Amino acid sequence: MGVMITMLSLVVILPIGTLILRGAQIGFADLWAVIGRERTFNALALSFRAALIAAVFNLFFGLALAWVLVRYRFPGKRILDASVDLPFALPTAVAGIALTTIYAPNGAFGAPMMDWFGLKIAYTELGIWIALIFVGLPFVVRTVQPVIEEIDREVEEASATLGASRARTFQKVILPMLMPALLTGFALALARSVGEYGSVIFIAGNLPNLTEIAPLLIVIRLEEFDYDGAIAIALAMLAISFVMLLVINLIQVWSRRRMGAA
């Protein structure tokens, strides 16, 4: 217990506490003045909007991918399963450069999308979504996959013998068992996406008020020696992230109690 508390204090509590203490020294009025600036507000809105969109996409696509990996056999399954962990092992800067190369207007995928549909991916918010989906997908898949493996197929067979369709069986029987793991994976993907930096800055274009994310703006403020501005943005991200994760955890508790009651 002592070792755990010491490590937790050094890694989590001490840095966050120092950040909050420095913010208290700056004062709420000055912090709000920085957060209320148009550039800061747009960067925060973009970061959390893109992270939420990417996490929602990963919630559905990650569930589908995990289901396929557990329930089906097909050629190349092991390669696909191993590739899910690629964002964990790949440096974020390398991922960002690779995604930018692929989705740039002259890239392998970016050029056809531009020529056929007039859709520009790199250097737009759409490119940010793709980068965040890439880094967040493994969190959902690896969280849900073990739960799917533990689901007894006899439960599905019993539901089918009672006349339930496959869709109704999934909705009423399987989904409630997966919900806690899905919410956990969603929270992990969201938390990773909010603070993502390396894989985004290359594909975003970093245009102020358009494609500039909050972590990049923090770095810019630090390079300008505007430490109060960087702390204000960091505290805003911390507060918003805390509220979002608190809501997700409350939903998790509610879903577990509902399952226990059922």
pLDDT on residue 189: 92
pLDDT on residue 126: 93
Which among 193, 171, 180 has a CA at the least distance from the CA of 248? 180
- pLDDT band of residue 260 (cuts 50, 70, 90) is low
Region 59-85 average pLDDT: 92
Output the pTM of the full model. Answer: 0.88
pLDDT on residue 262: 58
% of residues, the chain, pLDDT over 70: 98
Name the average pLDDT for the chain. Answer: 88
**Cα separation, 229 vs 152, whole angstroms:** 53
pLDDT on residue 261: 60
% of residues, the chain, pLDDT over 90: 44
Residue 106 φ/ψ region, left for φ over 0, alpha for ψ in the -120 to 50 degree band, beta for the rest: alpha
All structural domains of the chain, each given as residue ranges with its CATH number in brackets, are 19-261 (1.10.3720.10)
pLDDT on residue 213: 93
Q: Which residues contact 217 (CB under 8 A, 6 or more apart)?
A: 39, 40, 43, 233
- Name the one residue in this structure whose structure tokens are 């943005």: 233
pLDDT on residue 7: 81
